[in-house]
Structure formats: C-alpha cells, structure tokens
Amino acid sequence: MEYLLLDMTRLLRRAGVQVGTQEIEDCLHGLNHLGTNLGKYTFCQLVNTTMIKTSWGAEFAFWLTELYYGPDPELSNDHLQLLSHRQATEITGEGLGSGGRGAPVELLAEAVLKKNIALIYAVLQGLNITLEPHWEDEERALEFFRERSGWEEVRRRVAESQRRGELGEEEYAQAQEALSEWNRLLQDQIELQMIQNMSGQVLLEELKKHNPRTVEFLAGEERQIEPMFQEIQKLGRRLAVRPGRRRRVAAKGTIALNMTVRRALQTGGIPLAPVRVRRKPAKPDLWLLCDMSNSVSPFSYFMLLFVYATQSRYDHIRTFLFVDALLEATEHFQGQDWSDALHSMKRLKGFNLTGYSHYGKVLQQFAAEHLSQLSRKTTVIILGDGKNNGYKPEGYEALAQIKESAAALYWLNPLSRNLWGAADCLMKKYEENCTRAWSCCNIQQLEQFLLSL
C-alpha cells in the first residue's frame, strides 16, 4: 500500500499538484490508523483529505483510485454526491438499461422543466450507457450519450414548446440551465469511463488539463474558472504576508555580522556588541497596464484579482486599461469592493475604440502622459500578449523610457515563449526594453515568476 501511495504522489507531482513529505506522512498515518484492508471509497477520501487538500481535488482522488483499484459501483454512484444506486432504482424502476426500454423521455422532460437534477442523475444511473463504441473520441461520445440518454429529444421538445409560446422566459431559462447541468453529468460519465480505460500516462495528461494551477489562463473552461480564482487568491494571500527583502536594525532578529564588525571597529573592538536586524516590509508603488482585448482579457482579470489579493504589500496601486487607447481605472477600483470592480470593469469607456490592440500607440500615450510621475519606488507591470494587429511596429523607445524611469518594468505574457515572434506578436523586440519579460500561461508559472523576484 505504501508503494501505491508513493506512485500516486509521483503522478500528482508531475500533474502540478503540490504534495510534500508532510502530506505523505499524514496519509500514511491515516492508513496505519484505518488499516490496509480499507474500502475503496474510504481510501479515496483519505487521499483527498490528506494529500490533495483542495476543493477541486476530490475529482483527482477519484480518478487515481479508479486507475489503481479499478471500477467500483459504490464509488462511481457517489461521484456527484447526488443519489445512491438504490435511490436511482427506486425513482426510475428496473429495466432501464441500454438493452431495455430506453430513456424515459416524458419523465426527463418533466425533470428538466422542474430543474430536478437529482432525478436526471438517477435516470442516467439506471440507463447505464457504455462508452465502448466511441471511447477514443470525446466529441462523438458526447453526441452518442446525448442521443441515448434522451437529452437531444428533450432539448427539441423544450425548444418547440418555447416557439409555441407554452414556456415563459423564466421557465425557458430554467430549462436551459437544467439541460446544461444534464450535459455536464454526461461529460462526467464519459470522463469516468475513459479513465477506467486509461494508462497512467494518459491520466497524467488528463490531470494536467483539469488542474487549475496548470490550466492556461486563456484556455480555461467555464467550470474551471472558479477553482482557478480560488487558487490565485490563495497564492495572493500567501504572498501578502511574506516579508520584504530589506532589513533594518532591531532589538530582536538575526545577527548581522558585517554590521557588528563595522560597529566594533569604531571602539577598537571593545565592547563587541552584536547588531541584530529584521526584515522590513518593502512597499513599492505598483502600476498595472492591462490589455483588455477579447483574446487576452481573461488573463488580465486573473492578474488583477491576484494583485488586489496582495494589495497590502503595496503603498499605492494604479490601474490602466487599454486596447487601442489608455484609460486610468484607479478610481474605479478605489470606489467599490474589488470583486465588484472586476465584474463591472467592462462597462468603462474610452480604452477600446476599434476592438484591436495597438501596443505602439498605447505605450507612447503612457510615456507622454505619465512618464514624469514614475519614480525609483514604482514597479510597472504590463499584462498582455504583445500582438499589434498589423499596426506599425513602434513603442520601443517609450518602453525603454518607462524602464529607465521606474524601479522595474515587468511584462507578463499569457502566450508560450515560442509564439512571441510569430505573426504580429512583437514580444521579441519589446522584451529587450523590459527588466524582465515572462511567459505566464498559468498559475504555476505566475508563482515561479514571483519566486524568481
């Protein structure tokens, strides 16, 4: 069993999940307490609570247990924590397997209109649709599951009822939400069956795709956004309490040998009084330039969320939004709760005139309007992909002036470094005039950037 845990640890670490020696010790301690002859469900819960310790990690623990133990009806039925197999049978009755009567469309249509997700889940458990014909193609598998489960037929009926005026706007919206939830249940069933056919290497790739720390900011699916927000806030809170690098003389702290010797020289070495120092929190001014064009705005949202989770580390934060014009939004963030400010940010006007980002124009505008206000206390961070959309390549001199006037100029780019010189991306040239430019595709890379400072 210990070897199994170590093998799981290796897989989790390669997938970007932080599992340290303390987590392994906790899991082994729980294993010793419960005994090695524990059920599969208990083992899954043990791995989740001791090794992964995140709200989104339950799915990982489930997948790993499926891989190492093989399929188990009890664990599978509790995957979504809605209904047990017994409850499913009580609601739908026997004989609803793929070789039986098929999907009870009338019952499912009623469940959709009432948004009864538990009933839909129970019916799916009874249908027991298998992935076997399409297990290598997830899109075809989803089409197959939609057809066999009655999803397509119910969707058609809902659309027809809405066209005939039998459903009000609120009822139709509720039905659409139920259909989306149903579709999610089908996707989960497909993933579960795929995992049961996977090798460790294939599962590793799947884990990486679902780990909010390794999902790319620009590629996250809707259901992954909330876990990504949680992880980036967690990182922000951790950074917010980290002391700065500067040290000052204090009554308590570590002994500074060089300062102790220097002071002793003034008195001929008598007496030798140790000088102690402690870290002094460094509070720079932070200026953010955020590309809000459609292709990059999700990245800027995540970075702004991170910055405002760490705002206690900064003396003053100024925020600028741009697409093809520069707009300062500092007052927008000061006048309301930062989470509300993020959600209402798109309503601001004046930074998007054409819909196409124009870095050269924006950098020149920033230098012309704000260069004189920069100081050696100011750190400037640009958030964007550096794509100039066919406009004249310019802005290099302005960027160099910003770097010269500020304490540091960092550029965080959501694109992989191998794309920086492709097509209309000017990052190779812009990088030359930055203190540092960093490929920041996901939370893990953001953390690596912060640790390198």
- 3-state secondary structure string, 253-295? EEECHHHHHHHHHCCCCCCCCCCEEEECCCCCEEEEEEECCCC
Q: Please state the φ and ψ torsions of residue 166, each to the nearest 5 degrees.
A: -85, -15
Query: Average of pLDDT values for 198-211?
Result: 75
pLDDT at residue 86 is higher than 60? no
State the pLDDT at residue 292: 93
State the pLDDT at residue 96: 39
In sign, the C-alpha dihedral spanning 34, 39, 40, 42 is negative
**Per residue in 289-342, pLDDT tens?**
999 998 898 899 889 888 887 777 788 899 999 999 999 998 888 867 777 888
pLDDT at residue 90 is higher than 60? no
Mean pLDDT value across the chain? 81
- The residue among 287 and 34 whose pLDDT is bigger is 287
pTM, to two decimals:
0.63
pLDDT at residue 101 is higher than 80? no
**Per residue in 382-404, pLDDT tens?**
999 999 888 888 999 999 999 99
State the pLDDT at residue 390: 87
State the pLDDT at residue 93: 46
pLDDT at residue 380 is higher than 80? yes
Query: Average of pLDDT values for 360-383?
Result: 94
pLDDT at residue 83 is higher than 50? no
State the pLDDT at residue 85: 42
Give 265: exposed, middle or buried? Use CB within 10 Å, 0-12, 13-18, 19+: exposed
How far out from the chain centre does Cα 219 lie? 10
In sign, the C-alpha dihedral spanning 353, 359, 364, 365 is positive
CATH entry, 285-452, from 3.40.50.2000, 3.40.50.410, 3.30.70.3000, 3.40.50.150: 3.40.50.410
Most confident of 75-89, 109-123, 236-250, 428-442: 428-442
In degrees, rounded to 5, the angle at the alpha carbon of residue 75 between the alpha carbons of residues 106 and 143 is 45
State the pLDDT at residue 70: 59
**Per residue in 186-196, pLDDT tens?**
988 887 777 66
Question: Which residue reads 């406009």 in tokens?
Answer: 391
